Amino acid sequence: MDAWADNSAGMVSLTSPEVGIKGGSHILNYSDPLVAKVIEFKKELQAEVETNIENEESNNKPIIEMMIAACDGDLVTFESVARLHPELINTLYPSEDSGISSLIFAICFDQYAIAESILAQHNGDPDLHDTLVNNYTPLMWAIYFNQLDMVKLLLNHQADPYISPKDDDKTAISMVTPGKSHIYEYFKNHNLLKQKSSLDSEDYYESGFQYQEDPLVDNLTNQIKLQSITATSGYLEDEDHDQPSEDLDEEQELANDPLITSLKEFDYEKLLPEQYIKFTDSDIPSLLDYIFDLRTKKLAFQHDTKIPAAIVFQLLRYAYLKVDSTELSEFLFDCFTARLRSVTNTKSGVFNMATADDKEKSTGSGDIVLLSYWLSVIQFLHFYLSKNGFYTKFPKFLQELINLVQSLIATLSFSINSRLNLLIDDCILDFTNLVDVSNVLYAKDWNFFKGKRKFHPSTYEDIFDMLYPPSQTELMKPSPIRYIQVLNALDYVLKLHQVNTLIKFQTFSEVFYYINSIIFNRIISQSKYCTRSKAIQIRLNISTLEDWLRSHNYKNYKPDKIGQVSMLLGPANHLMHLSNLLEETNDIKNPHSLSFYYNSLYHIGKTQLQPTIELLQWLQCMSLLTDEESLIITINQFDYLNYYQLFKIMNKLYKYEVNEPKLPKTLTNLIKNLQNQKGESQVSQSNLHYMTQSNFLLKEVYIYLNPNYVFAVALPNLNELINSYGSGIGGVKTLRAKKYQPSLPLNVVDDVDEILTQNKNDVNDTFDYEQDDNTADGVEEEEEESERSAKETNQKSFKGDELFKEVQLPSSLVHKNWGDEDIESNPW
């Protein structure tokens, strides 16, 4: 039943630029624009050779022969031309303003012998950059194609890795990221990542700091640009194998950061200076303004989601542990969550796609960067509150964070789905690259009026043209690759904001649930898709999504005990019911079970796509069934299709091809009888969610899947959070724990102090909790006269909740007080 998945396992990736262009051991990559330009230029050279083949006196003939020999690895021809015309070695063709050197051609096509000959025998310039494609030096091209041997060759011949051809600070060093593991290790071992040949010390420190500050963003940006849809996942095993060394590298890099090493360890048990923010109730609006402006107005912190969470956490620590005010703590938390719902447009919890207006439907809606940012902030705030034991005193905080996470995941999913909805017809359902599918004739169509049938390419010219990369126009046409680019964007922002793997998997699960529901409903509602040939093509298009899942097959850390978030509430509140949480069962195939999200991402996405896959498999094999036995055996293989859906396809939708055998009527009646007898019980046992489609004459139930269903969520427990953002198992990653602890940078502390000082100057009558406490303590120390004087002092001072017991409502100046009970008489 899963033949397509099995057949695609041997496919080779055609979209990752890291594998380079065909030549040596590399594979031709058509989808990369830089590669396409180089290959297009080679094609022009070949065309020029064929045009001027009889012109023996052509001035360009030697350099054209040299360039083609460099591309093809023809060392004999290259050496003969180079000896006769040595000046051509460092010449750009067709012109100095817009050309490529023979060395760059040899690197692009992975011709090591040619490159070695140019550098060692003919004194080729290792730093001569091209002026036609992207102004890359030879070393930059070698790094771009992940060719370690070529990189070593260039560096051995004095190639400068710090040259910036376009003076935009983009060098070969800036292209080296941890994603290119072998080249990254080579540069790191040779101390090339932290040195610079320039004498400008300011630029040196700036470049080094930027690289150390944000290596994840550079790596992720590079990976998004070089996305692969490889069907094999062999390298994923290598990534899992190298994970411990990556963690070790993280600790080593943090050890070189003086800010991290000098940072004091945060004490969650005691309230120490510089680990809380002193504020008053009148400071809350301005502090919230600052928190929500960090992403847009403080570019240095626009993706650092730890800082907003740390500010809120330190304010809560002061309100509860220092002031001892439950009301102030709850008021601050409620203000923050209300502002967050307003900013992220999750005031109503879940946004229904059916309510989107026409403008949103035509352009897509929602800022996925904004939503991912605040999802990560909530995650870190949950981490800090869990470490400090806040939930034992404020159990409603945990419930509110659960609701927020569910709302943000649903809204983020809607934002992605609104973009996918614009591409689903052109990129998945109607995209056809199989010639046979376009040539199919159907029994009930007016085939007489159809155009001339397409034929397979048979001539030598047709086959030869197929070997060349597609043009830019062809690459811009809709295809499944454009569809998965939206998934790449989601993966990028979740990595950028360091969202926990458990929350990330829940987000992708909801996205793939929507993808499955929309494709399923489109197919089962339109007869034009219910054919065996169209099913083959759509199944092939969906295999692109499966390939994307294989290449992003992330794994989630599973602790000994999963879930049990209610344990954070403490013994007193342990039996309190938390709503919107996933079931803590061991059903790894049920999206409503927490165990489901500890599978790999491939398993999660494939499970959500399974209803559509089964529907397409049914369309491919339905007309081949001839008796009841074969029908029963076939439908027993389906775990997600129900009798209502099978009957509708058999009875109404299926579109037969010319000369295709028709399904016997007895088999249709058999499915109808099963529907009447067992349909309801079958649906009740399913984990799918259906919606009723009705019109004036017809009402269909259990046919269409509900794409707007919102799943319950799960927050990571304290063990998972410590493993991701703390010191890890055994407490060995102490520097990583310091990196993610709720400490604030000095410039943020200065900004907060400035806000508080300004507010204190503007509002003279603001109540100062700490000052009042100190005054009372001083009186008790200096005067120990009598109990009466002490009681009088205590009566004049109040603390915490007593402030909120004496709140005075503002006077009404323009409108009538709502609390007045008297009713004005009607003047009429």
Confidence label for 520 from pLDDT (cuts 50, 70 and 90): very high
Residue from 706, 712, 707, 691 nearest 349 by CA: 712
φ, ψ dihedrals at 429, nearest 5°: -80, -40
Q: What is the mean pLDDT of residues 720-730?
A: 86
Q: Where are the beta strands (DSSP E) in 425-512?
A: none
Q: Which of 267-276, 282-291, 331-340 has the lowest mean pLDDT?
A: 267-276
What are 623-641's pLDDT values in tens digits? 999 999 999 999 999 999 9
Whole-number pLDDT of residue 463: 67
Q: Is the peptide bond before 94 cis (omega within 30 degrees of 0)?
A: yes
Contact 584, 562 (CB under 8 A): yes
Amino acid at 292: F
Average pLDDT of the chain?
80
Q: Can you read off the two tokens belonging to residue 217? A: 């963003």
Domains defined for the chain, CATH in brackets: 17-211 (1.25.40.20), 357-363+390-712 (no CATH)
Whether the CB-CB separation of 681 and 675 falls below 8 Å is answered with no
List 694's β-bridge partners, or say none: 699
Cβ atoms of 686 and 642 within 8 Å: the answer is: yes
Residue 52 has what pLDDT? 66
Q: What is the pLDDT of residue 27?
A: 55
Three-state secondary-structure class, residue 308:
helix
Q: Is the pLDDT of residue 291 over 80?
A: yes
Q: Is the separation of the CB atoms in 15 and 229 below 8 Å?
A: yes
Are 559 and 720 contacting, i.e. CB atoms less than 8 angstroms apart?
yes
Rama region for 272: left / alpha / beta (φ>0; ψ in -120 to 50; rest): beta
What does the pLDDT read at residue 169? Answer: 78
Task: Quote the pLDDT of residue 770.
Answer: 59
Q: What pLDDT does 34 receive?
A: 79
pLDDT exceeds 80 at position 198: no
Contact 171, 202 (CB under 8 A): no
Region of 540 on the Ramachandran plot (φ > 0 left; ψ -120 to 50 alpha; else beta): alpha
Contact between 128 and 103 (Cβ < 8 Å) = yes
Which range, of 350-354, 445-449, 571-575, 696-700, averages the lowest pLDDT?
350-354
Give 544's contacts (C-beta < 8 A, 6+ positions apart): 229, 480, 481, 483, 484
Exposure b/e, 677-709, CB count within 10 A at least 16 = b: eebeebeeeeebbbbeeeeeeeebebbbbebbb
Chain centroid, CA 138 distance in Å: 32
Flag the least confident range among 58-67, 314-323, 444-453, 698-707: 444-453
**What single-letter amino acid sits at 717?**
N
Quick one: 468 exposed, middle or buried, by C-beta within 10 A (0-12, 13-18, 19+)?
A: middle
Instruction: Compute the average pLDDT of residues 7-25.
Output: 39
Give strand pairing partners of 442.
657
Q: Is 208 helix (H, G, I), strand (E, B) or coil?
A: helix
- Banded model confidence at residue 58, pLDDT cuts 50, 70, 90: low
Q: What is the pLDDT of residue 220?
A: 45
Q: Give the amino acid at 41.
A: F
Q: What is the pLDDT of residue 659?
A: 87
Q: 703 φ, ψ to 5°?
A: -105, -55
pLDDT tens-digit series, residues 742-775: 999 999 999 999 999 999 888 765 556 555 555 4
Question: Is the pLDDT score of 791 beyond 60?
Answer: no
Segment among 135-139, 197-201, 476-480 with least mean pLDDT: 197-201
**pLDDT of the residue at 346:** 84
Once rounded to an integer, what is the mean pLDDT over residues 70-93?
91
Residues 143-186 pLDDT 10s: 988 899 999 999 988 898 988 888 777 888 888 887 777 888 88
What percent of the chain is modeled with pLDDT above 90? 50
What are residue 313's phi and psi, to 5 degrees?
A: -65, -45
d(CA 229, CA 249): 28
Tell me, what's the pLDDT at 307? 96
Q: Tokens standing for 809?
A: 């409502």
Q: Binning pLDDT at 50, 70 and 90, where does residue 384 land?
A: very high
**Higher pLDDT residue, 817 or 139?**
139
Q: For residue 702, name the pLDDT band (cuts at 50, 70, 90).
A: very high
CA atoms within 13 A on the CB side of 144: 24
Q: What is the pLDDT of residues 425-464, one digit of tens each?
A: 999 999 988 777 767 777 776 655 555 555 555 666 666 6
Helix (H) or strand (E) holding 299: none
Helix pair 75-84, 61-72: axis angle to 10 deg: 150
581 within 8 A of 402, measured Cβ to Cβ: yes
What pLDDT is stored for residue 178 in this prediction? 77
* Residue 425 CB neighbour total at 10 angstroms: 12
Average pLDDT over residues 715-742: 89
**The two three-digit tokens of residue 739, written as one number:** 């990196």
State pTM to two decimals: 0.66
Please tell me the predicted confidence (pLDDT) of residue 97. Answer: 80
pLDDT (0 to 100) of residue 515: 97
Please tell me the predicted confidence (pLDDT) of residue 784. 46
User: Can you tell me the distance from the alpha carbon of 687 to that of 456, in angstroms, rounded to the nearest whole number?
Assistant: 44
Radius of gyration of the chain (CA): 33
**pLDDT tens, 362-371?**
444 578 999 9
Using CA atoms, how far apart are residues 365 and 346, in angstroms rounded to an integer?
A: 14
Which pLDDT score is estimated for 496? 94
